[in-house]
Each structure stands twice: as C-alpha cells, then as structure tokens.
Amino acid sequence: MSVTESGNYKVSVKLSANNKTRMVSKELTVSLNGIDFRTAVTGIKVFPNPAFDVVNVLFDDQSANAGFSISDLAGKSVLPGQIKNGRDSIDISMLSAGTYTLAIGSQCIKVVKK
C-alpha cells in the first residue's frame, strides 16, 4: 500500500493457520510527517504472563512513552491506553479469561488472562 496524502486508512490482514482464518484490521491516521500510532519502542518486558488482574509493562528505555492496545483474538480492541516513562501496570481484571494481543508501537505480545 502506498499512501500519497494525509487521512485515515483501514488496513486489514487475513491470517490463516491450522484450518482457521481470521481477519485483523487496524485504522491508521497518516500525516505527511508519518503514521502516528507507531512508536519505536524496543526491549519490552511484560509480566506476569499469564496474569489474573494486572499486567506490568517495562521498557528498556525508561523515558519512553507509547500507546498500547489490547485486542481479542478477533482483532477487536478491548482496552486502549498509554504507557508513560517506560513503565506501567495495566488493569486487565475486567477482561474475560482468554488470550489477547498487546500491541505497543509496532510490536505485538501475546497476553493470557486467567
């Protein structure tokens, strides 16, 4: 996909494995200066995993700030938020038990809620 002007774009990816197929979609806001949701964050630690009520997130860069989104396996965002100063505790107590995807910048991490 090539973007030539600013605006909102929906990107969808079809994922297939083990005779199961699902579609994951993400809406991006693109400006002439770049895409706003991608943050270059490396060295991410997520613990405990699996978790009951809280997931802790720690970046190697303690000064980094980044948006996050927790999505269910259907790709629906169920919990968006912001991580500031390289660390945060995310309350997942309201989520049902299951497997979720924690997206931080361009990285995705599987999180299991017990």
What is the value of pTM for the model shown? 0.65
Q: What residues contact residue 113 under an 8 Å CB cut-off, 6+ apart?
A: 50, 51, 52, 92, 95, 96, 97, 98, 99, 100
Is 57:5 a contact under the CB 8 Å cutoff? Answer: no
CA 45 to chain centre: 14
Tens digit of each residue's pLDDT (9 = 90 or more) over 14-46: 777 777 777 777 776 665 544 444 445 668 899
- Is the domain spanning 37-113 CATH 3.30.70.580? The answer is no
- Go through 88-103 and write b for each residue having 16 or more CB atoms within 10 A of its CB, e for each that does not: bebebeebeeeebbbb
How confident is the model over 42-99, as pLDDT tens digits?
688 999 999 999 999 998 887 788 889 999 988 889 999 999 888 999 999 999 999 9
Q: Where are the domains of the chain?
A: 1-36, 37-113
